[in-house]
Amino acid sequence: MHIGGEWVDSDDRYELISPATEEVFATAAKGGTGHADAAVAAASRAFEEGTWRNTPPLERAAVLDRVIAAVTARMDEFTEIGVRECGFPQRLSQAICVGFPLAHMQHYADLTRTYAWERPGPVTGMVLSTQLVRREPIGVCVGIVPWNFPLIIAVWKTFPALAAGNSVVLKVDEKTPVAALEMAAILRDAGLPAGAFNVVTGDGETVGAHLVRHPDVRKVSFTGSTAVGRQVMRDASDTIKKVTLELGGKGPNIVLDDADLDAAVDGSIYAFLLHAGQACESGTRLLLPSSLHDEFVERLTARLKTLKVGDPFDPATDIGPVMSAVQRDRILGYIESGKQEGATVAHGGGTPQGPGYEKGFWVEPTVFTGVRNDMCIAREEIFGPVLSVISYDSVDEAVKIANDTEYGLSAGVWSQDVPRALEVAGRLQAGSVWINDWHNISQHMPFGGFKQSGVGRELGADALDDFTEQKAITIDLTGRVDRRAYGLVLGTPPNA
């Protein structure tokens, strides 16, 4: 772990297992609540000392620039970390574990330079005064990062917090700590003061929960399941912490009857199969007009047969393994549930067989047809390569089905008539709606969910708002006691 600018070990270990081979490729320290307390104490000291929070924004941005340069110089290494830790196919790892994080890092560095840290108010009032509003750092910010996209989500938790002058404690998932620990070393070498950024490991139920409840933590940013997000919100409420929650999803992907089918078929596969479906904003419910249903499913399953599932180090591989045996068995349980509820397996439905699949955590890309929106596979987040196809007869019915969920993270619309697609998009209850695309998470656009998919937003032009507090300062301009409002309480002095 990295605490107070130092590497800190522990007596216990995690074994890090390759999802593709089940081989132990590294070990990592297993932290406990004592390490969490030490990290918060280090972050608190750094914040109180004020070296980082009082560093001018342009200088903070320069530190972030040096981090960007260092990660760029190690692209191949971070790509390999993604393949080994997460099972990303190699070309996907290069994008998800290097390309996107770098773009988002640069966005936060640029925001640090341009953000309105202070803005003037008007000259106002019955009592002549002027005002200004300052954006100031909150204090100790905790980021809790899941295993599916460990580096890019670590960037979302870390860079805006540091850009705003806060101190950070990052709690990484025990299965994927390597990239964040490498980033700790890079931040230190780039000139970040000791204690401003700390990385701890540990089980979520103990270390993560302890950090959320810690009285010296002022902000928690959590990405994970909706069930855990509810508990984070409850625990954070005891000390009225600011929270950002990016939680689960069950993205509806609506194909309209005038869609470009070639693009929509490939896009719908991309929507549910990126990282073997292990993305909260995946398009896992495919809504097809009855008139196109059979043709679309035929095209989709034919295209799936061309994809290579296998060794993530093979450049030809399209789909890698899922993260763990627990994850694999959970997904297979949902597939069995879909069969029992009466849905039809149009493709996949099990684990791939043959050479290369003897070890590793594999699930076939699986497509169900004949799905009703009240089925378990259509309502619960499976977090795997499983697609539920639902037929509809009118656009109004499609919108009703799409919104009939506790989630509201992502949605998509496919149409060659953009104004028509925009009209449908405006009716969808989702934080991100993609038209003729999916997974296009731009650093310039806010990302987060409606309903039980979360609270707050990451990325976008306002990304630093949730990591700052507003302070209103009012300056009297009268220069005289008798022109202020004191007479509302204080009577005329006896000798006046």
How far is residue 483's CA from residue 476's CA, in Å, rounded to a whole number?
10
Domains of the chain: 2-246+464-473 (3.40.605.10), 252-435 (3.40.309.10)
**Residue 327, CA atoms < 13 Å, CB-side half-sphere:** 23
Helix (H) or strand (E) holding 295: helix 293-304
The 3-class SS string of 219-288 reads EEEEECCHHHHHHHHHHHHCCCCEEEEECCCCCEEEECCCCCHHHHHHHHHHHHHHHHHCCCCCCCEEEE
Is the CB of residue 196 less than 8 Å from the CB of residue 52? yes
Tokens of 278: 């292990």
**CA 217, 218, 221, 222 torsion-angle sign:** positive
How far does Cα 340 stand from its chain's mean position? 33
Measured CA distances, 376 to 88, 224, 243, 342 (Å): 28, 20, 30, 11
**Matching residue, tokens 């938790």:** 157
CA angle 394, 374, 279 (to 5 degrees): 90
pLDDT for res 496: 60
**Catalytic residue flag (residue 246):** yes
d(CA 405, CA 373): 9
Alpha helix positions (H), 116-177:
150-163
pLDDT along the chain (496 residues), means of 10: 98 97 97 98 98 98 98 97 96 95 98 96 83 96 97 98 98 97 97 98 96 98 97 97 97 98 98 98 98 98 97 96 98 98 97 95 98 98 98 98 98 98 98 98 97 97 97 89 79 72
User: pTM of the full predicted structure?
Assistant: 0.95
Nearest Cα residue to 409 out of 220, 273, 247, 229: 247
List strand residue ranges (DSSP E) for 290-394, in order.
344-347, 366-369, 386-392
Catalytic member of 182, 280, 281, 381: 280
**CB neighbours of residue 480 within 10 Å:** 8
Q: Cα–Cα distance between 61 and 56 in angstroms, integer?
A: 9
- Kindly name the residue from 174, 182, 246, 281 that is annotated as catalytic: 246
Q: How many CB atoms lie within 10 A of CB 41?
A: 18
* Residue 46 phi, psi dihedral angles, 5° rounding: -60, -40
* CA–CA separation, 250 and 231 (whole Å): 20
Tell the burial category of 343 from Cβ atoms under 10 Å away from its Cβ (0-12, 13-18, 19+). buried
